[in-house]
Amino acid sequence: MTTRKSKSIRLAMFRADNHAYWFAPMIQKCDPFLLREHSNDRNPPSAARLPRDDRADRHLGSGSEGAADPPQSFSQKLKEFLTLPFFTLNLLRRMSTYCSTTRIADELGVSQSAVSYVLNDRWREKRISRETRDRILKYARRIRYRPNRLAQCLQARRSYTVGVIVSFIMGSFYQEILSGIESILGRSFVLLLGVSENNAEKEAKLIEQFLEYRVDGLLVAWSGAAGTHELLGEIVAKQIPLVMIDRYNPRLKTHFVGANNKKLGERITQHLIETGLKEIYFLGSNASLTSSIDRAQGYRAAMKERGLQPRALLLSPLPQAEGAREDIRLGYSGLKQIASEAKPPFGIVTVNTPVAWGVLRAARETGLRIPDQLSIGVIGKESNNDLLETPLTCVTLETETIGREAAQILHNLIEHSNHRKQTVRRLIPGEFVQGKSTPPQSRL
């Protein structure tokens, strides 16, 4: 009766021979004479596996009569060659590429399903012992096993990828959103990142490319361009999982996660009013973005609630591929214009932090003292706010929370089709942070 151990030994020897013949062309490039004496092996390879020169040697015979030393067999020469460090390293690398769960199961004497459950961290639900799990994981690490994701995708008819489109990656805003997304989806999906730079053509191209790669879902910070409206509508109609982040398309019924921009605009404006200011201006950036529009609406609502007139509501289209640099210029030119008309003290609410940076620069040039003559309230907070000479009073956007919430909704849409029946719209509240750009209490 043949034991399991003896079968495993013979199987290992057979595989070692197969790997040796598979690597034969590589070995011959390093030593042309290494493969010349196969006739001394007990089981020489077939002629079809040998290079042309070796076939000729076998037909004519090799070696000479009366040689002093017996010729080394192919296995012996191969063993010597494998002692070379560079070849051993390459051999391990190449062999690890072709390692499979079947090989692990055969070598350890367990079922292939057990190997699969352990490697996919499902060994507990299948009641596989911890000892077996440790053996499988130890052997998989030793042979440098890597799963064949392509085969898994074909079998599951999924790509296990998610497309993420943002406007810019400069500044902490989208970086923190991406960090939140990665913390949820990075465990199960590969994230494909695209940067649209608020360019409609580039955004449409990115969406098309992601669809061609058959991504399982999309997270999109919409540029506000009308050119991609139809493409997004097609995605919704085909029920491809889609979640809008930070900005939404009011003409499409889609899942959305973003800051409660209207409330944030209202909260920071109320703070400036409570300090005793009567003249408060709003500086915005992109009139086509729903985030800018909602923040401006919050500013208007707070001013009208106190019987004050909204002033100098500056909303201008954002040039393509400019981003924060253009916002800084807008804040700089906006304060220059306001300072020529307004009498201190007055206040300014900025739509984001880069606009506030431009205001700070212009304030230094015009000699306006902060916060005695000029108070600045900001919607949003950059990570370097505390390092500024004048830390800005602001309301936070909780960007990392936005990323996590959006990623969780998309994950549910991908894994559970019943979640697609109801549209989710989630607005994340922010917190008020007192800085040095506004007085902490009323001037009255």
Distance of CA 167 to the CA centre of its chain: 15
The pair of structure tokens assigned to 171 is 């500044």
CA distance 155 to 173: 38
CB contact at 8 A, 399 and 261: no
Check residue 322 and give its pLDDT. 55
Whole-Å CA distances, 193 to 163, 167, 189, 209, 224: 6, 11, 12, 11, 19
> Cα separation of 430 and 173, whole Å?
14
Per-residue CA distances from 178 to 134, 188, 191, 275 (Å): 35, 15, 10, 36
Tell me if 346 sits within 8 A of 363, measured CB to CB.
no
Who contacts 92 (Cβ-Cβ below 8 Å, separation ≥6)?
A: 144
CA distance 123 to 237: 39
CA atoms within 13 A on the CB side of 12: 11
Q: Longest C-alpha distance within the chain, in Å? A: 116
205, HSE (Cβ side, Cα atoms, 13 Å): 9
Q: Edge-to-edge, what's the strand order for the sheet holding 242-245? A: 190-195, 161-166, 217-220, 242-245, 255-259, 425-428
CA dihedral 122, 128, 130, 135 (to 10 degrees): -90
Q: Would you tell me how many other CB atoms lie within 10 Å of the CB of residue 16?
A: 11
Element (H, E) at 172: helix 172-185
Residues 412 and 255 sit within 8 Å (Cβ to Cβ):
no
Contact 265, 349 (CB under 8 A): yes
pLDDT of residue 83: 56
CB 227, CB 204: distance < 8 Å: yes
Spatial distance between the Cα atoms of 196 and 199, rounded to a whole number of angstroms: 6
Q: Which amino acid is at 103?
A: R
pLDDT under 70: residue ranges of the chain: 1-98, 226, 312, 314-323, 419-420, 441-444
**How far apart, in whole angstroms, are the C-alpha atoms of residue 443 and residue 56?**
102
Question: Own/partner pairs for 207-215, CB < 8 Å, 24+ apart?
Answer: 207/163, 207/165, 207/231, 207/232, 207/235, 210/163, 210/165, 211/235, 211/240, 213/159, 213/161, 213/163, 214/159, 214/161, 215/159, 215/161, 215/162, 215/163
| Pair of tokens at residue 239 | 């029920």
- Which spans in 213-286 are helix H? 229-237, 261-274
- Cβ of 199: how many Cβ atoms within 10 Å? 17
Can you give the pLDDT at residue 433? 92
Q: Which whole-number Å values give the CA distances from 382 to 62, 389, 391, in the listed order?
A: 78, 14, 10
For 286, the token pair is 């992109």
Q: What's the pLDDT at 408?
A: 94
Q: Which of 358, 356, 383 is nearest to 177 (CA)?
A: 383
C-alpha to C-alpha distance for 371 and 293, rounded to whole angstroms: 27
- Who contacts 388 (Cβ-Cβ below 8 Å, separation ≥6)? 360
Q: What is the pLDDT of residue 10?
A: 39
**pLDDT tens for residues 368-383?**
999 999 999 999 888 7
Token output for 137? 């994981």
* Structure tokens that stand for 108 in this block: 């350890």
How far is residue 87's CA from residue 305's CA, in Å, rounded to a whole number?
79
Could you give all domains of the chain from N- to C-terminal order, each with its CATH number? 4-55+72-150 (no CATH), 155-259+402-428 (3.40.50.2300), 261-398 (3.40.50.2300)
- Residue 193 forms beta bridges with which residues? 164
